[in-house]
Amino acid sequence: MKKRILAAMLAAVMVVAVAAGCGKSSDSKTETSGEAETKEEARKVVLVTSGSGEPYSLLADDGTWTGIDAEMWAEIEKRTGWEVEVKQAAFDSIWGELDTKRADVAANCWAVKPERTEKYYASIPYYGDAQCIIVPESNTDINTFDDLKGKKVGCTNGQAAQTIIEQMSGEIGFEVVLYEDSTVGMNDLNLGRVDAYANTTTNVNNFMHYNDTIKFRFLDEDLTANNVAYFIQKTDEGKELCDELNKVLQEMLDDGTVAKITEKWMFADMTQLIQK
């Protein structure tokens, strides 16, 4: 009798233990599944930038990212929950990163140009800018585009002004000198190594702000006004990403976030220059 009671008690203990073990296993699976779902829900976006200089995009050796696009994407990441990975590439290699699908978005304060929108999706513009030509303030000989005849005109390689300047050089008759970095080019202008320089208004203003002993004069006529946007692969996945990005960009424009970022880095609300 005692043996039967003892056996029954042992059986009951085993049932309870198995039930407890099963419960623990189920909870563990649920937690793991939840974590997996969270990871799946967080979109990973690989972003490529030259990271060569402020106010646009500067990647330091320690990985710190500063500039307009850095602050824009910190806000985008916060609002969307996306996992954003930043890659650095040479200025003229950025498009190859998109073409080979090693990156999802090109972010370098790029101007919207037909040759770019033919191949890539462009986001809605997040600010506007103008392409201009500058000369040293002391230069009184160059006042119009025609005065550039026989001169050396610098330009940043890959910038929106490059196409226009190269076309003008054939029509007017001046030499184009390309630079990989705008700061180097404008320093050369100040030193007299080139006679004029084509760049963006905001980049010139930023350079003079941080180099207050250097003064340039803008020619009265601008080369062109342009919108600035992000560029994405022309694929189904790219279209979906572009649509989602446009929603958050519009929110940031509407609530004044982008205006504050451009005011910080360019000393003016550049969203007011967006071309409709």
54: confidence class by pLDDT, cuts 50, 70, 90: confident
Give the burial string for 37-66 (b: 16+ CB within 10 Å, else e): eeeeeeeebbbbbbbbbebbbbbeeeeebb
**Of all residues in the chain, what percent carry a pLDDT higher than 70?**
85
The pLDDT of residue 97 is 96
Instruction: Report, as an integer, the average pLDDT of 160-188.
Output: 94
Instruction: Report, as an integer, the average pLDDT of 87-110.
Output: 94
- Give the residues across from 105 on adjacent strands: 47, 232
Cis peptide bond N-terminal to 114, omega within 30: no
Average per-residue pLDDT for the chain: 87
40: confidence class by pLDDT, cuts 50, 70, 90: low
Question: What are the pLDDT digits (tens) for 68-87?
Answer: 999 999 999 999 999 999 99
Instruction: Report, as an integer, the average pLDDT of 250-264.
Output: 97
The angle, 0 to 180 degrees and rounded to 10, between the axes of the packed helices 257-266 and 68-80 is: 160
52: confidence class by pLDDT, cuts 50, 70, 90: confident
The pLDDT of residue 274 is 93
- DSSP string for residues in 156-216: ETTSHHHHHHHHHIIIII-EEEEES-HHHHHHHHHHTSSSEEEEEHHHHHHHHHH-TT--E
pLDDT > 60? residue 20: no
pLDDT > 70? residue 26: no
For the ranges 15-19, 210-214, 243-247, the maximum mean pLDDT occurs at 243-247
Number of H helices, E strands in the chain: 9, 13
Identify the DSSP state of 55.
T
pLDDT > 50? residue 157: yes
Question: What are the pLDDT digits (tens) for 190-244?
Answer: 999 999 999 988 889 889 999 999 999 999 988 888 899 999 999 999 999 999 9
Query: Which of the two residues, 31 and 205, has the higher pLDDT score?
Result: 205
Query: Which of the two residues, 39 and 251, has the higher pLDDT score?
Result: 251
CA nearest to 107, candidates 132, 131, 82: 82
